[in-house]
Structure 1
Amino acid sequence: MDVANCSKCSRLYIKNPVRDICDKCYKEEETAYDKVSTYLKKRENRTATMLQVVQDTGVSEDLIHKFIKKGRIKLVQFPNLTYPCETCGNPIQTGKLCEQCLTELRKDLEIFEREEQRQKELEERKVYFVVDEKFRKHQ
């Protein structure tokens, strides 16, 4: 059994491969999830913004983002809920990066691949000379 510190409260707990928090904090998160889930299930709350959900449930925005990232809250049904892009922080509803950051990443990847190909072609063009030591001694 491995022991670790809870990432929320620093309390020692028996390490669990699924969670990085202790049982007490896990139960608190589950209670918070139930609040948010119950709130969002009401038809009148489906168009709520993140600020409204935070204010009405008392659950922190970071924790709601965690629920979204873990797939516990599906944003398809909630058009006004977003979470931040992992690179720039702009609001997004799917994936980990916004379109602008994805485009930049693709451009950087293309540049990297072209440079890698160029290096490979240069390496293939190199000519190596072999010096025959016997030939060298007779001259």
Structure 2
Amino acid sequence: MAELFNCKNCGKLYVKVAASVCPTCRKDIDRKYDVVYNFICQEGNRQATVMEVHEATGVEESLIYDWVKEGKLKPADFVNLNYPCRSCGQMIQSGTLCGNCFRRLSHEVKVYEKQQETKENLSKDDDYANV
């Protein structure tokens, strides 16, 4: 069922069916996407970075980053379209973390799991000693 929401862009009240922005803002975002897409599809612009696309089109970097993350603009087709890693800001083409941050986080999770396992084993040993 449709609900009333405030548009995250303009704050206007609208009936939310699917999009998180009102129909007016959706049209504006779609228009900006067309401008960006038309720009990067031109042969001389296919190697453009997000900053270069932003400077040439005036479209916000955050929107361009979102389109790359969503797969609307594919780095396989436009190799220099990247967005920042959520943790360190290094430019990446897929996922939310760069390889270094992913490895670091995976290592931290393994260390945490070992610590939890050791605590559980110590707790069990204490339970047996008290019996």
TM superposition score normalised by structure 1: 0.85
State the match for 2:4 in structure 1.
3
Given residue 88 of structure 1, which amino acid in structure 2 is its aligned partner? C
Q: Is 2:109 the partner of 1:104?
A: no
Unaligned runs of 5+ in 1: 130-139
Deviation per CA, 1:3-26: give whole Å up to 9, x if none.
11000000000023x321000000
State the match for 1:67 in structure 2.
67
Cα distance in 1, alignment partners of residues 57 and 3 from structure 2: 35
Deviation per CA, 1:57-96: give whole Å up to 9, x if none.
2211011011111111111222222111111222111110
Instruction: Please provide the CA RMSD for this pair.
Output: 1.4
Cα distance in 1, alignment partners of residues 119 and 76 from structure 2: 44
Cα distance in 1, alignment partners of residues 92 and 57 from structure 2: 22
Q: Name the % identity.
A: 34
Aligned length: 128
State the match for 2:14 in structure 1.
13
- Aligned 1:77-92 pairs, distance under 5 A: 77-92=77-92
Q: Is 2:122 the partner of 1:122?
A: yes
Unaligned runs of 5+ in 2: none
State the match for 1:41 in structure 2.
41
Cα distance in 2, alignment partners of residues 70 and 92 from structure 1: 13
Deviation per CA, 1:26-69: give whole Å up to 9, x if none.
00000111111111222221111212111212211011011111
Q: Secondary structure at the match of 1:86?
A: coil
Given residue 70 of structure 2, which amino acid in structure 1 is its aligned partner? K
> Which entry has the higher C-alpha Rg, 1 or 2?
1
Deviation per CA, 1:92-138: give whole Å up to 9, x if none.
11110112211210111011111121122223323142xxxxxxxxx
Cα distance in 2, alignment partners of residues 69 and 80 from structure 1: 13
Cα distance in 2, alignment partners of residues 113 and 48 from structure 1: 43
State the match for 1:136 in structure 2.
none
